[in-house]
A and B are shown apart, each in its own frame.
Chain A
Amino acid sequence: MRIAESVEVSAPPEAVWEYIAEPENYLRFMSGVTRWEVQGDKRSGLGARCRMLLRVGAAEVGGLIEWVEWSEPRDMAWTSVTGVDQRGRWRIRPLERERSRVELRYAYGVAGAGIFGWIAEKVAAPTLRRHIRRTLHQLKRQIEHERLRAEAERRKKAREGATTA
């Protein structure tokens, strides 16, 4: 089963990319995620691995994932190595006036689980959809607030520089 949601962010694709490429940020904006830990020496980029867990119903599901696509600053995708089968993809596309459309696609299931697997996917879908929507809104807020802070800092420094001169 695949879920896809998107949001517009008032930041260029490069800023969005920079934020989602940092593994430490995931616990800040990924809704429902209880664990997002780098495994191995490689922190990010193609081939980097993370252990992630997402609370859905009575369990925290997830497992080891690996980044399998890393096309800066457009597409970033992961797939599961262990745990439930899952694929996730960030699609970042530029819009006018330094804005971006950010889409998160999430596909999940358990191969070989039969009818119960199908039912479980349907039952879990509303929860996962809520998580994904919330994730995107939290991502938007984090990035835009960070840009506002950076902008305010830049203006403050400019003012201080003008006063000194």
Chain B
Amino acid sequence: METSTLAEQAKQNGHGEGPAPAAEESAGAGLGSMLGRAAGAIGRQIGSRLTADLDDRDPDYIRENLPFVWLLSSLWFRGEVRNLGNIPEDGPVLMVGNHSGGNVTPDTHVLTLAFSTYFGVERPFYQLAHNLVVASPIGQILRKYGTVPASHENAELALNRGAAVLVYPGGDWEVHRSSWARNTVDFGGRKGFLRLALKNDVPIVPVVSAGGQETALFLGRGNRLAKGLGLDRLLRLKVLPVSIGPPWGLNVGDFLGHLPLPAKLTTEVLPPIDLREQFGAEPDLDEAYDYVTRLMQDALDALAAERRFPVIG
């Protein structure tokens, strides 16, 4: 897959609508050019690895690895997922979550475990992930869990098969927000998930998590730096985050991940939303976006209010 196709795919996925970062300063343009070329090569390599095959999901593998994920979720993150019964018992559904925890995204592991044990590994469940994640070495494992590159095509394929699909509209933008903004739902204005739900006529189930952004000290997104280096065009990366956490100490980019702090993770599943029932046959996307994000923000505020201390919960 060529990088231009990646950019197009990103645009279709609503990623082109993110907030426009401020103009990048021109200092270090030579270095930027060099890094940009390197990023281009990486982008082409990634593109060649991006083939979505829903059949990569392996229920037996998921089942056999439930104990490991359960141990991690229970002992390290003290995970708690509430109201899974709000997810329709069968049929396609688009689960929309706020995303936290840098590139490690522990909230996804906890939710995947909870979904798999609640509904059984037999129920098809796919997670849309950033191209870089799917193309990484760990992507081979994640594919067995049902992780596919984030695109409307992949999501539609899965929905057409009657699967539950988990999407994080905020993606790399939200997951690298600073720890000070940890209790903020920030989709960056991306409304692709609404178009996806409308086109496929499936309900949206908001999934709100708290605690993920306490698994390291996230200092900022580095979006200006990312734009200056051309990472946004070449790798769909609008950010080059800076954080502090084990084992690296100062961590720029979080490309190799990090050892997440054992923050308590709490997730709440909200009741399903039928967009056409709620907003009419041709819903106004801005209105629907404001509604969904406000519902999620209210739920996140309530979860945040339960927490007495960072990390401890």
Contacts and interface: CB of A to CB of B under 8 A. Distances in A.
Interface of A: 53, 56-64, 82-84, 110-114, 116-117, 119-121, 123
Interface stretch (B114-122, B196-204, B235-243, B287-295): B114-122
Contacts of B67: 110, 113, 116-117, 119-121
Given A57-B73, A59-B70, A82 B122 contact: yes
Nearest to A85: B63
Contacts of B73: 57-59
B64 A110 contact: yes
Chain B contact surface mostly: helix
B35 interface: no
Interface string B56-70: 000010011111101
B80 interface: yes
Nearest to B68: A116
Contacts of B122: 82
B77 interface: yes
Given A53-B118, A59-B118, A119 B66 contact: no
Contacts of A64: 120
A57 to B, nearest CB: 3
Given A57-B70, A110-B66, A116-B68, A123 B75 contact: yes
B71 A84 contact: no
Main secondary structure of the interface of A (DSSP, over half): mixed
A60 B74 CA distance: 11
Contact of A84 (B66, B81, B114): B66
A58 B78 CA distance: 6
A64 B71 CA distance: 23
B50 interface: no
Contact of A113 (B66, B74, B113): B66
Given A112-B64, A113-B64, A58 B120 contact: no
Interface string B121-153: 010000000000000000000000000000000
A58 B118 contact: no
Contact of A58 (B60, B64, B80, B84): B80
A83 B120 contact: yes
Given A58-B80, A112-B60, 18 more contacts: A57-B79, A58-B78, A58-B79, A58-B81, A59-B70, A59-B81, A59-B114, A60-B117, A82-B120, A111-B64, A112-B63, A112-B64, A116-B68, A116-B71, A119-B71, A120-B70, A121-B67, A123-B75
A62 B117 contact: yes
B78 to A, nearest CB: 7
Nearest 5 Cβ contacts at the A-B interface: A57-B74, A120-B67, A58-B79, A58-B73, A116-B68
A59 B71 contact: no
A58 B74 contact: yes
Contacts of A119: 67, 71
A44 B263 CA distance: 43
Nearest to B75: A123
Contacts of B70: 57-59, 61, 120
B110 interface: yes
B21 to A, nearest CB: 36
A63 B120 contact: yes
A61 B75 contact: no
Nearest to A113: B67
Residue from the set B73, B78, B113, B117 with the largest chain A CB neighbour count within 10 Å: B117
A85 to B, nearest CB: 10
Contacts of A61: 70, 117
A112 B71 CA distance: 16
B118 A60 contact: yes
B66 A123 contact: no
A83 B74 contact: no
Nearest to B74: A57
A148 to B, nearest CB: 35
A82 B60 CA distance: 11
Given A58-B81, A59-B117, A83-B120, A123 B64 contact: no
24 contacts: A53-B117, A53-B118, A57-B74, A57-B75, A58-B70, A58-B77, A58-B79, A58-B113, A59-B73, A59-B113, A59-B117, A59-B118, A60-B114, A61-B117, A63-B120, A83-B120, A110-B63, A110-B64, A110-B66, A110-B67, A112-B64, A113-B64, A113-B65, A113-B68
